[in-house]
Amino acid sequence: MRCNMEVLKNVSIKPYTSMKVGGNVKEIFFPEDTDDIIDVLNKCNEVIVIGNCSNLIIPDGYYDKSFMILRDNFSKIRKDGYRIVAESGATMKALSRFALKSYLKGFEFLDGIPGTVGGGIFMNAGAYGPVISDVLESVRAIRDGKIVSYTKEQLDFSQRHSSFQTNREIIVGATFIGEEGDQKEIEAVINDLNGRRREKQPLEYPSCGSVFKRPENGFASKIIDECGLKGLRIGGAEVSKKHAGFIINVDNASYEDVVSLIQKVHDIVLEKTGISLETEVKILR
């Protein structure tokens, strides 16, 4: 393993999560290239890969697992004609802003999603209709210690799903393709979407964004609101009064607070409506 790769032992994962929940973990690796990633995979029998950790809830106390963070340390972006090539640790906001500077449209919706390119592809992240696979051309991943490439058609994309959720391969980069656009018009769309987010979402609190997937018969947030659950609270975790689809950390919430509240919302909605909401966030046990 490269001797100067940053590795932290027995440290809190909480500062690296968007929910601001989680205890100490065995170790955290910060690779800077694919060779580093392969080295970590060879060293560890199991490693959990995160970016902004915007869709993952990690237990409190000591969690005896190894983590690998692909974020600022693995975030290069470059232009190739109408294509954008990005490493998986680049944020979706950075990708959106790079597209803006490159006069490429189609990436505006990514600007307010608080995650990385790798996490976005893993979850097929989206907002206000479009999803990241709409602008995706291909993905580079590590499988069995080697770099492999996939077209988006090979990756089984659907609502908040990709094949990476089951194949255990590590996303290391992607190529996106956009359309030439007017920079002022692109910026106007970004500003409009971000204004709508600020108006409707509790961005001032730590959260994992939308907790539940959209069910077939409506929006999760609307269903939760109609069940009268806005403001429901367990410990420091609360169903946002601004957007019922968000569970927010209002007062140093614990892992148990957050997970218990998610379960309670699920159970009340099921009892009142017969709808079993499926979580969009991933909960580690």
Question: 50 pairs with which residues across the strands?
Answer: 69
Has 18 been annotated as catalytic? no
Which of the residues 210, 221, 240, 254 is marked catalytic? 210
What one-character-per-residue DSSP string does the chain give?
A: --TTSEEEEEEESGGGSSS----EEEEEEE-SSHHHHHHHHHH-S-EEEESS--SEE--SS-EEEEEEE-SGGG--EEEETTEEEEETTSBHHHHHHHHHHTTEES-GGGGG--SBHHHHHHHT-BSSS-BGGGSEEEEEEEETTEEEEEEGGGS--BTTB-THHHH-PEEEEEEEE-EE--HHHHHHHHHHHHHHHHHHS-TTS-EEEE-BPPPTTS-HHHHHHHTT-TT-EETTEEE-SS-TTEEEESSS--HHHHHHHHHHHHHHHHHHHS--PPBSSEE--
Question: 271 is written with which tokens?
Answer: 């009892």
Question: 219 is written with which tokens?
Answer: 């929006």
Which of the residues 87, 108, 238, 280 is marked catalytic? 280
Has 153 been annotated as catalytic? no
Task: List, in order, residues 6 or more apart from 38 with CB less than 8 Å away.
Answer: 142, 145
Question: 243 is written with which tokens?
Answer: 């957007």
Which of the residues 27, 75, 102, 160 is marked catalytic? 160
Among 118, 146, 143, smallest CA distance to 132 is for 118
Has 137 been annotated as catalytic? no
Residues taking part in catalysis: 160, 210, 280
